[in-house]
A and B are shown apart, each in its own frame.
Chain A
């Protein structure tokens, strides 16, 4: 049962209330899930709220978790993804000014640019992508989900995922080059 799921045994122990297993699961998943939420939402504080909600659901579900079609990591991604997209949807409901746009990323051409500045510039460019393109890139590149899992999470086929990835990569490059001008 847990042979197919690298988290299966740990989750079973979490379900039994094993405090060491709880700590191990948090050590294993907290950075990964925080990074996912941070990149999808572009906001650290909101990402932390999402992660807390996600882990509340983990504690609630661990006891009843039965290995099935999905791995536990995929299930966590699904919950986190849904929590993030709900928040993004609510942001859109709060009307943004017509002219609202993400700030321009800083240029990357300068060889002396620090890694931190470069990271910030890419972060801004990511935040400026169309949400579905950003989701596809975050799930595939940063979370390293297999293409089928990423597509299933987004409720699309692999072809559509590939199209979003290609457009997202082009847009990201164009945006960062714009910043160079």
Chain B
């Protein structure tokens, strides 16, 4: 049950929040509206307050500029770019691994088909004297 409102409180409320009931504190709105309907002194207060409300709401501020909007959006973190970078990095790595795998596979295939070349590749320095053997003895 809402407490009935007295004149003093109604006067304070209208002086602070103006003539529009929507602005009155929710918990007091019903009582204030009832007071406004029933007390003949209310109309004068509301009329004065309404004139000040009209002044206040004559004030307009410019909409934010496109430049400001663009700068604000630009300042936001860009998750998708980060994800794209990560994807690119992984893509490059995968490509490198594939290429390396291809080289190894190619070498193995060549070895299977050509044992001579394979030996050269497996022991590429067979024609070089062993380091265990002194050079003069080798000659």
Contact = CB atoms under 8 A, between A and B. Distances in A.
Interface of B: 12-13, 15-18, 23, 25-26, 49, 51-52, 55-65, 68-69, 71-73, 75-80, 82
Given A19-B78, A34-B64, A162-B12, A137 B69 contact: no
Contacts of A85: none
A4 B32 CA distance: 28
B60 A30 contact: no
B68 A34 contact: yes
A44 interface: yes
A52 B65 CA distance: 12
Is chain B's binding surface mostly helix, strand, loop or mixed? Answer: helix
A125 B64 CA distance: 22
Chain A interface bracket (under 10, 10 to 19, 20 to 34, 35 or more): 35 or more
A22 B70 CA distance: 12
A75 to B, nearest CB: 17
Contacts, number: 111
Contact of A169 (B12, B18, B25, B80): B18
Contacts of A55: 72, 75-76
B18 A52 contact: no
Contacts of A51: 64, 68, 72
B64 to A, nearest CB: 4
Interface in A72-106: none
A166 B12 contact: yes
Contacts of B76: 14, 19, 22, 26, 55, 59
Contacts of A6: none
29 contacts: A17-B80, A19-B76, A22-B73, A26-B76, A31-B64, A34-B68, A39-B59, A39-B61, A48-B64, A52-B68, A52-B71, A52-B72, A55-B76, A56-B75, A115-B58, A116-B60, A123-B59, A123-B61, A141-B18, A141-B56, A158-B25, A165-B15, A165-B17, A169-B15, A169-B49, A169-B56, A170-B15, A172-B55, A173-B55
